[in-house]
Amino acid sequence: MLACCSNPSWTLPSFPALSLLHICTTTKEFNQIHTPFVKTGLIKQDHVSTKLFSLYLTLHSDNLDHARRLFDQIQEPKSFAWNSILKAYINNHRSHEALVLYHNCLFHGVSPNKFTLPIVIKGCGRLSASEEGRQVHGHVLKMGFGFDIHTQSSLVDMYSKCGEICFAKKVFDRMVERDLISWNSMIAAFAKCGEMERAHKLFKEMPRKDVFSWTTLINGYAKIGSMTIAKALFDEIPEKNVVSWNTIISGYLKYGQIDSAFHLFNCMPERSLVSWNLMISGLEHSGHPKKALEVFDEMLKVRVRPNAATIVSALSAVSELALLNKGKWIHSYMDRLGFQISAVLATSLIEMYSKCGSIEIALEVFRSLPERRVGHWTAIIIGLAMHGLANHALKLFKEMRSVGLRPHALTFLGVLNACSHAGMVHEGRLYFEVMSHEYGIIPTIQHYGCMVDMLSRSGHLEEAKDVIERMPLQANEVIWMTLLSGCRKHGNIEIGEYAAKCVVELDPNATGCYVLLSNIYAAAGRWDDMAKVRETMRWRGVRKDPGRSLIDHGGVIHEFIVGDRSHPQTEEIYLKLDEMHERLKSIGYEPDKTQVLLHIEDSEKEVALSYHSEKLAIAFGLINLERGMPIRIVKNLRVCPDCHSATKLLSITYGCDIIVRDNSRFHHFKNGSCSCMDYW
């Protein structure tokens, strides 16, 4: 039927081709009908071009660029056409272009009407463009629409979104008649800036409330942590909808009230995809990655199809727990569902594989990307740095610069970390200068922290101390702790005491500070000083965090602490530990008793070293994993030198790869050596 349109002899009255537009499903079909109008010159008639434009916009509102080309063919577009294209730009989140178009509308002498101005005002609100909004407000007053209720409501909403509370309140107070939108916008404005008393007062004055009114107020209280009031309001809502349920659950998750969030989530009469995403991301962000994955699995069981946001949160939880098999399954699941690998998803996959110990697959994902953005380069550079592959990380950084991409602050964090983990002090100093002098990036506290870490690890303690004291930012606890850790490694008591003093001034209950300082004293044989530090810890109620090692087997996470005997396989594990110890001794292993910083007998020190958490996890892995399978362990603290030496030898005697992620990097043990080259 569309083919008959190629006959140029028809005219508009005799061939109602415009009606065919309603059955078009593709741009190609539309063009078949559009072309005869161009060939016959009828497109120059404004009523024809306007009709074509408006019908196309109705049918293909997502193809805005083509709609714009049709709009540009209208010789003298009237207000209706201008309003249509302005609304289309704003609805497609291209508000900046809409404002430029509005300027063109005025330039062409077309007077905005009462439908135009609310559209443009909405665009200003979306951009938080208060200056432009005030200019449009001037147009409103000049053209006599100052008392139009829809325009006034739009102004209240716009000023609210721009954070201009005073202007929003002035417009609101001058309104002779107020609709529900204006009331809700004003309440939202107060809630957004934390003025909950004023928001609540206005809420009580409302002649009519809808569920949005209640939800806005609940959200405001939830944001400032007043969950008791938020929950009381939630209970009062006459008719709850899924948004109101999501709002209160989000508040509980934000403040770590996991049990309350779960209770409400389980009580929901219906759950939207947003509900599931809130739970998964909220649990992951609040430090409960295992629970996040449990909710993700439940979501799949009830056949709710995830979106990209779901997958990103699930991959982040997988990364935290280093569950490589689970990460691979999610990646395969994405492929089965036909997910388009967006820029964000690609970054999440690279980060997941890197943090799960498979830098090889992370590199495969990176190389497979048809278009690599700065975030992708940054993710792989950070991943390589984490695995101690500094030369590869720096090579990719140079390649990134050579293709014309501009690194950002996070990219340089990856570069500086790579230098730190490999002891490349000269290169680290150089890139720190390049960052500020060549790219104009102002170093953050994290960049200075990388420099202090690099210098402290390599023994340049005086220089590290000087960096801290000269940097233009106030040093935080983390930076002083980094210096203190370097002092522990290199046995510098004087600077260590100074760093510890600075940490305690910032946080008197900093557990790690007391532990490191007592370890420095113990390593130097200053037992009295060590005892004083331990006594201070007892007096302050400060407890040392025990070392924990996690290992995944069959989708179940097994956790061990030093000397752990709570596992169902404890008997087998300790028999395997004895076997490991005998094998190690047979190939010349001697326990590093200097790592036991207690005033006890050598035999007791040897026993204590045997039961470190990562050794228990390795024993579990040797019992349960197929022979030759890599053993993957996640540890919450830095790997101790004795476990490091022992694990290198275990990788020989048992002929398996052992991959350990500690609190700062990866160690790949294979054939008696470690990827860190004994520098960590």
Residue 491: both structure tokens together: 């046995």
What pLDDT was estimated at residue 323? 93
Summary mean pLDDT of the chain:
87
Q: Which CATH architecture has domain 443-540?
A: Alpha Horseshoe (1.25)
Tokens 């492929």: give the residue.
Answer: 335
Structure tokens at 616: 């228990």
Q: Mean pLDDT throughout 62-67?
A: 71
Question: How do residues 345-357 score in pLDDT, each as one tens digit?
Answer: 999 999 999 999 9
Q: Does the CA dihedral 674-676-678-680 come out positive or negative?
A: negative
Handedness of CA 33, 34, 38, 40 (dihedral sign): positive
Q: Which residue(s) pair with 556 in the sheet?
A: 553
Distance CA 409, CA 447 (A): 8
pLDDT of 3 reads: 37
Q: What is the β-pairing status of strands 556-561 and 666-670? A: unpaired
pLDDT at 59: 54
Q: How confident is the model at residue 145 (pLDDT cuts 50, 70, 90)?
A: confident
Over 70: is that where the pLDDT of 36 sits? no
The count of other CB atoms within 10 Å of the CB of residue 291 is 18
Instruction: Using the CB atoms, write b or e for 218-241: b if 16+ within 10 Å.
Output: bbbbbbeebbebbbebbeebeebb
- The residue written with tokens 């417009």 in the block is 171
Asked whether the beta carbons of 218 and 194 are under 8 A apart, the reply is no
d(CA 289, CA 315) in angstroms, rounded, equals: 10
pLDDT band at 38 (very low <50, low <70, confident <90, very high): low
Q: Is the pLDDT of residue 202 over 90?
A: yes
Q: Is the pTM of this model over 0.85?
A: no
User: Would the pLDDT of 395 be above 70?
Assistant: yes
CA distances, 595 to each of 76, 253, 523, 582, 643 (Å): 84, 40, 8, 20, 10
pLDDT tens, residue by residue, 164-176: 889 989 999 988 8
d(CA 340, CA 347): 13
Angle between helical axes of 242-254 and 258-267 (0-180°, round to 10) = 160
Output the six-digit token pair for 213: 């009114």
Q: How far is CA 311 from CA 202, 226, 263, 327, 344, in A?
A: 40, 31, 24, 10, 10
pLDDT tens column, 572-597: 999 999 999 999 999 988 877 665 55
460 alpha-carbon distance from chain centroid? 34
Q: Quote the pLDDT of residue 15.
A: 42
How far is it, in rounded angstroms, from Cα 201 to Cα 263? 30
- State what percent of residues in the chain have pLDDT above 90: 61
Read off the pLDDT of each residue in 71-79 and give the average, rounded to a whole number. 77
- Taking residues 303-313, what's their average pLDDT? 96
If you search the block for the tokens 């716009």, which residue do you land on?
158
* pLDDT tens-place string over residues 90-123: 888 888 888 888 888 888 788 888 888 899 998 8
Residue 33's pLDDT is 57
Among 297, 364, 285, which Cα is nearest to 329's?
A: 297
Question: CB-based burial of residue 441 (10 Å sphere; 0-12 exposed, 13-18 middle, 19+ buried)?
Answer: middle
Q: How confident is the model at residue 9 (pLDDT cuts 50, 70, 90)?
A: very low
DSSP state of 339: -
Neighbours of 45 (CB within 10 A): 14
Highest mean pLDDT among 42-51, 126-135, 376-385: 376-385
Strand, helix or coil at 589? Answer: coil
Sheet holding 631-635, edge to edge: 556-561, 548-553, 631-635, 658-661, 666-670, 673-674
> Measured between alpha carbons, how far is 310 from 315 in angstroms, rounded to an integer?
9
For residues 245-280, b (16+ Cβ closer than 10 Å) or e, as one string?
Answer: bbbbbbbbbbeebbebbbebbeeeeebeeebbbbbb
- Given CA atoms 518, 521, 525, 527 in this order, what sign does their dihedral have? negative
Q: With bands split at pLDDT 50, 70 and 90, how would you rate the model's confidence at 1?
A: very low
pLDDT of residue 432: 97
Please give the backbone phi and psi of residue 476, each rounded to the nearest 5 degrees, phi first.
-105, 180
Confidence of residue 679 (pLDDT cuts 50, 70, 90): confident
Q: Which residue carries 């002899």 as its tokens?
A: 9
Task: Give CATH 1.25.40.10 domain extents, the chain.
Answer: 443-540
Asked whether the predicted pLDDT for residue 412 surpasses 80, the reply is yes
Return the sign of the alpha-carbon dihedral for residues 482, 488, 492, 498. positive
Q: For the chain, give the longest Cα–Cα distance.
A: 107
- What digits encode the pLDDT tens for the residues 450-498? 999 999 999 999 999 999 999 999 999 999 999 999 999 999 999 999 9
